[in-house]
């Protein structure tokens, strides 16, 4: 059997896993196609294209201002959104090919070399990505008139529902090419770094050892992370309060890894000393959720990066009708894509969750308690994934509100645009995982 036929048979036998990956990639491409189409639609921008932004003080300490086009600032925000979407594709692709590890080990153990293993990965991953690309672009084109209709209502402008911008279309192609080349490089790197035993034991226990040379106390990470919250409690209502809040939020983002890996761990150890943690399966689902969050801090970082870049852009376009509403849509779209990627992570790692469920079963817990534990673990993980960055965003929004930059209603809309998609996807994901684990537990009970 040649490698092409082998790859095709394996691909067809794992159609459910492939569908999950295709769905995730399709959603990402639809989102990016829609966002790029909106940002490159000239009809959405105001007739007065310039806004004033303070640049620096000259030698006489006079404020020097320069003109900057509003579409230029909006497209700068688009760059960050593209970067986040690319990172999501990379994370999901890595999870996808990680699931193929034992198939790769089979190829190499049977005498196939790196070349055959690489061909197998390229065939499976690029086939899925190609299907997702075609579906994503076609659906993006079909819903483009609907997007334009909604956006025109928001910006209170008129224009054609069927628009085409060559620069925007080239950006879509560039995005797809970058994803395509990135997937190829990930495949090559994965094959090159893994030996046969490493591929076979890919589902072994993960370790999160503390390898720091200089150990900073956990409390320092916590204090630095919540700086924007402390600043919010001073109730700043002066003109530059929003900019100061953004600077403090950037500091929070820089210490995010330390806060999640070490600060969050310190909080969990403190909670373990409390009696309420040992009621039912509470200690189990909380510890599993904290472990998952520590492994998934990149998703939180992406969400936080999206929020901060959007907040910075928002400061520059507040005076233009509909611009901040467009940014709100982008934040919601980014939240959906990132939440889907977290959901995909749970689906891919369902086997590990199932293994933990069987271990809990051995402790004497009923299937109902186990399924409740799994559901709570997934929902808690989604909640923490949003609350950790949302604490910082909420403080920034509050400062924007009391400074008169944003209305309370719009600030609440920003927070809900992140919470609602994530919670909906979290509930769906927990339902899917719960059903899958429930079926497997019934099979496990019959065998034993």
- Give dist(CA 340, CA 87) in Å, integer: 13
Residue where a domain stops, chosen among 158, 186, 203: 203
Mean pLDDT of all residues belonging to the chain: 75
DSSP label at residue 52 = E
Which backbone phi and psi does 320 adopt, to 5 degrees? Answer: -110, 130
At residue 112, does pLDDT exceed 70? Answer: no
pLDDT band, very low/low/confident/very high, at 254 (cuts 50, 70, 90): confident
pTM: 0.74
Higher-scoring residue by pLDDT: 193, 243: 243
The token duo for 11 is 């691909």
pLDDT of residue 319: 63
- Going by the DSSP 8-state scheme, the letter that residue 205 receives in this structure is P
**374: how many CB neighbours lie within 10 A of its CB?**
28
Mean pLDDT of all residues in 401-414: 77
Backbone angles phi, psi at 405, to 5 degrees: -80, -35
Task: Note the pLDDT of residue 205.
Answer: 46
Q: Say yes or no: 191 and 218 in one domain.
A: no
Structurally, the chain folds into a number of domains equal to: 2
Find the domain containing 65 and state its range: 1-203
pLDDT tens-digit map of 310-365? 777 766 666 666 667 777 777 777 778 888 887 777 777 766 777 777 777 777 77
Closest C-alpha to 117, from 66, 187, 53, 181: 187
pLDDT computed for residue 235 by the predictor: 77
pLDDT tens readout for residues 285-310: 888 888 878 877 787 787 777 777 77
Measure Cα distances from 364 to 281, 282, 370, 375 in Å.
11, 15, 10, 18
Integer Cα distance of 443 and 381 in angstroms: 27
- Are residues 178 and 219 both part of a single domain? no
Q: pLDDT digit string (tens) for 51-83?
A: 545 444 555 555 555 565 666 666 677 777 777
What gap in Å lies between CA 402 and CA 237, rounded to an integer?
6
| Cβ atoms 158, 152 nearer than 8 A | yes
Q: Residue 28, Cα to own-chain centre: how many angstroms?
A: 11
Residues 145 and 237 in one domain: no
The whole-number pLDDT of residue 203 equals: 53
In angstroms, rounded to a whole number, what is the distance separating the alpha carbons of residues 293 and 10? 32
Q: What is residue 444's predicted lDDT score, i.e. its pLDDT? A: 56
What are 67's strand-pairing partners? 52
Domain C-terminal end among 146, 173, 203 = 203
Residue 68 φ/ψ, nearest 5 degrees: -140, 130
One domain, residues 318 and 387: yes
Residue 390 has pLDDT above 50, yes or no: yes
Query: What are the tokens at 244?
Result: 């100061």
Whether residue 159 is found in the same domain as residue 293? no
* Length reported for the chain: 448
> Are 156 and 128 a contacting pair, CB within 8 Å?
no
End-to-end CA distance of the chain: 38
**Token pair belonging to 397:** 């929004």
Task: Encode pLDDT of 91-108 as tens digits.
Answer: 788 777 777 777 777 777
pLDDT greater than 70 at residue 125: yes
The pLDDT value given to residue 201: 53
pLDDT of amino acid 321? 65
CB-side exposure of 188: number of CA atoms within 13 Å?
A: 6
Same domain membership, residue 127 and residue 222:
no
Residues 199 and 218 in one domain: no
The 10 Å Cβ neighbour count of residue 41 is: 23
Lowest-confidence segment of 124-128, 270-274, 346-350 by average pLDDT: 346-350
User: If you compute the radius of gyration of the chain from its CA atoms, what whole number of angstroms results?
Assistant: 24
Neighbour-count burial for 296-331, b at 16+ CB within 10 Å, e otherwise? bbbbbbbbbbbbbbbbbbbbbbeebebbbbbbbbbb
Residue 146 has pLDDT above 80, yes or no: yes
| Domain closes at, from 184, 203, 222 | 203
CB-based contact 117:106 (threshold 8 Å) = no
With residues binned 3-state (H G I as helix, E B as strand, rest as coil), the percentages for the chain, rounded to 5, are 80, 5, 20
Q: Is 263 in the same domain as 134?
A: no
Considering the domain architecture, whether residues 89 and 186 belong to the same structural domain is answered as: yes
Of residues 13, 203, 7, the one with CA closest to residue 99: 203
Give the C-alpha separation, 150 to 165, whole Å: 18
Above 60 in pLDDT, residue 395?
yes
Chain segment 187-225, per-residue pLDDT in tens: 667 666 665 555 555 555 455 555 666 777 778 888 888
Q: Which of 5-9, 167-171, 444-448 has the lowest mean pLDDT?
A: 444-448
In this structure, the number of other CB atoms found within 10 A of the CB of residue 88 comes to 26
Do residues 293 and 314 both lie within one domain? Answer: yes
Residue 296 and residue 191 in one domain: no
Which of 142-146, 311-315, 325-329, 433-437 bottoms out in mean pLDDT, i.e. has the lowest?
311-315
User: Measuring CA to CA, which residue among 353, 295, 300, 306 is closest to residue 330?
Assistant: 306
Q: Which residues pair with 57 in a beta bridge?
A: 63
For residues 89 and 220, state if they share a domain: no
Q: Is 24 helix (H, G, I), strand (E, B) or coil?
A: helix
Looking at residue 282, its pLDDT comes to 80
């Amino acid at each position: 059997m040649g490698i092409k036929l082998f790859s095709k048979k394996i691909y067809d036998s794992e159609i459910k896993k492939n569908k999950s990956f295709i769905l995730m990639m399709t959603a990402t491409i639809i989102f990016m196609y829609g966002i790029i189409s909106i940002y490159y639609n000239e009809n959405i921008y105001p007739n007065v294209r310039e806004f004033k932004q303070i640049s620096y003080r000259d030698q006489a300490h006079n404020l020097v201002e320069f003109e900057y086009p509003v579409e230029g600032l909006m497209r700068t925000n688009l760059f960050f959104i593209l970067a986040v979407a690319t990172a999501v594709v990379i994370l999901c692709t890595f999870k996808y090919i990680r699931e193929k590890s034992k198939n790769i080990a089979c190829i190499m153990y049977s005498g196939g070399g790196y070349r055959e293993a690489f061909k197998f990965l390229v065939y499976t991953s690029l086939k899925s990505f190609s299907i997702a690309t075609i579906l994503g672009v076609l659906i993006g084109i079909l819903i483009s008139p609907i997007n334009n209709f909604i956006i025109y209502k928001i910006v209170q402008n008129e224009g054609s529902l069927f628009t085409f911008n060559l620069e925007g279309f080239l950006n879509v192609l560039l995005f797809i090419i970058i994803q395509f080349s990135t997937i190829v490089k990930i495949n090559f790197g994965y094959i090159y770094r893994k030996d046969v035993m490493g591929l076979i034991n890919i589902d072994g226990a993960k370790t999160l050892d503390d390898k720091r040379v200089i150990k900073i106390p956990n409390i320092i990470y916590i204090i630095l992370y919540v700086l924007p919250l402390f600043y919010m409690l001073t109730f700043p209502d002066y003109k530059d309060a929003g900019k100061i809040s953004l600077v403090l939020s950037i500091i929070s983002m820089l210490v995010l890894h330390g806060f999640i890996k070490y600060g969050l761990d310190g909080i969990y150890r403190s909670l373990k000393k409390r009696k309420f943690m040992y009621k039912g399966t509470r200690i189990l689902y909380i510890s599993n959720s904290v472990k998952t969050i520590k492994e998934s801090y990149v998703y939180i970082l992406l969400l936080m990066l999206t929020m901060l870049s959007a907040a910075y852009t928002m400061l520059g376009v507040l005076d233009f009708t509909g611009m901040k509403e467009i940014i709100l849509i982008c934040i919601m779209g980014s939240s959906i894509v990132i939440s889907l990627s977290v959901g995909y992570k749970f689906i891919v790692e369902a086997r590990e969750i199932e293994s933990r469920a069987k271990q809990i079963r051995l402790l004497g817990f009923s299937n109902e308690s186990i399924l409740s534990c799994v559901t709570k673990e997934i929902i808690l993980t989604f909640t923490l994934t949003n609350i950790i960055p949302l604490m910082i965003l909420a403080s920034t929004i509050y400062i924007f509100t009391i400074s008169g930059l944003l209305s309370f209603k719009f600030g609440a809309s920003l927070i809900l645009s992140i919470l609602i998609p994530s919670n909906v996807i979290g509930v769906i994901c927990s339902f899917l995982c719960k059903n899958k684990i429930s079926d497997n537990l019934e099979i496990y009970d019959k065998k034993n």
